[in-house]
Amino acid sequence: MRLLVLGTGGMANNHAENFKYIQDVEMVAAVDVDPARAAMFAEKHGIGRTFTSLDDAIAWGEFDAVTNVTPDRAHYPTTMRLIEAGKHQFCEKPLAETYAQAMEMTEAAEAAGLINMVNLTYRNVAPLQRAREMVRSGDIGFVKHVEASYLQSWLVSKQWGDWRTESQWLWRLSTAHGSNGVLGDIGIHILDFASYGAGLEIGHIFGRLKTYDKADGGKIGEYTLDANDSFVMSVDYSNGALGVIHATRWAAGHYNDLRLRIYGDKGGIEVQHTPKGSALRACIGEDAENAEWDEIDAGTVPTNYMRFADAVKSGVNGEPDFRHAATLQKALDLAFLTDKERREMAL
């Protein structure tokens, strides 16, 4: 597979580091509007050609697939242009800024018969994959209740940098600078974590969003700090189970932590993922009587990058695909609307 890297910012380095070790994948070119940044990226990762526009890269055409690591707002126009050019795509999350755009991208890619996948990073977490297998095999019985959280602390600490002075963080707090807050940034991850791990689709949703005062007048320089900092959702699932999903950037002591708890009428499963590692434990069978929990070795799983390369090679689309990401985007769109209208809505 001849791969084009579209966008050469920070996250693109993660893509390049993963793709460079996959057999039969060759990164043949990189595209960025900043020629100096593209050149530095290409030199770092041994890429022989750079472009400053997608149109120039498409005119060249010597690539089979694209890993799209552009800013969120660029996903829709660049993806639609690449579909027209007949190129397979691996896109960063979120797929688009709205459900309507995401579905247009999905339907166009499917109609063209192109491989289409989205980098929902936490699908790479082996305990999540194992938990899903256990739920679907009936290990915990009929799922009754789900709890999921994504906790970050960068509004409390300076582990990732000082948001009060560094624009790379300030833009995430300002809707005028393209941010949809914590819901738009990491909401898609915890929604996927909560639905994929439980092996269930979300049926209804009611979201509440909160933006806290963070500076005098609600501004720092040109940045109006009006994007949401925290959200809480109550949901029900396709089988009738209830769930609570929440996320915040104010969770002191939690650098970048995801947790999923799934409870059924025969037992429970808990998944935890932090920068220090992942863990899976279960309380099933006789242990459910005594509230005893066992640690479970989840092994390893192929990464999204590997799955995309395999999908292009085989011609069979992989997961997570555009359609799934579009469904998640619909849930995010509805969360904003339910907060505004203060009522539950169906997906």
- List the Cα angle 97/103/104 in 5-degree steps: 95
The last residue of one of the domains, among 121, 153, 176, is 121
Give the tens place of pLDDT for each residue, 130-151: 999 999 999 999 999 999 999 9
Residues 147 and 17 in one domain: no
Positions of the chain with pLDDT lower than 50, given as ranges: none
Residues 44 and 165 in one domain: no
β-pairing, 345-346 vs 202-210, is antiparallel
Whole-number Cα distances in Å, 346 to 96, 172, 326: 20, 28, 15
Residue 106 is part of a domain; what is its CATH number? Answer: 3.40.50.720
CB of 178 within 8 A of CB of 215? no
Residues 95 and 134 in one domain: no
At residue 182, the pLDDT reads 95
β-pairing, 2-6 vs 26-31, is parallel
Residues 189 and 246 in one domain: yes
Give the tens place of pLDDT for each residue, 31-53: 999 999 999 999 999 999 999 99
The last residue of one of the domains, among 91, 121, 151, is 121
At residue 166, the pLDDT reads 87
CB of 296 within 8 A of CB of 281? yes
Distance CA 61, CA 37 (A): 22
- The closest alpha carbon to 116, from 306, 316, 322, belongs to 322
Q: Strand (E) positions, 53-211? A: 65-68, 88-92, 116-119, 143-152, 202-210
Residues 196 and 239 in one domain: yes
Token reading at 86 = 């007949």
Distance CA 28, CA 50 (A): 9
Residues 73 and 163 in one domain: no
Residues 50 and 171 in one domain: no
Question: For residue 233, what are the β-bridge partners?
Answer: 207, 245
Distance CA 70, CA 86 (A): 19
At residue 241, the pLDDT reads 98
Residue-number span of the structural domain to which 133 is assigned: 123-302+319-346
Residues 75 and 114 in one domain: yes
CB of 247 within 8 A of CB of 190? yes
Q: Please give the single-letter amino acid code of residue 211.
A: T
- The closest alpha carbon to 14, from 168, 121, 88, belongs to 121
Distance CA 66, CA 88 (A): 6
Domain count, the chain: 2
Lookup result for tokens 């190129």: 87
Residues 100 and 134 in one domain: no
β-pairing, 223-224 vs 143-152, is unpaired
Residues 146 and 283 in one domain: yes
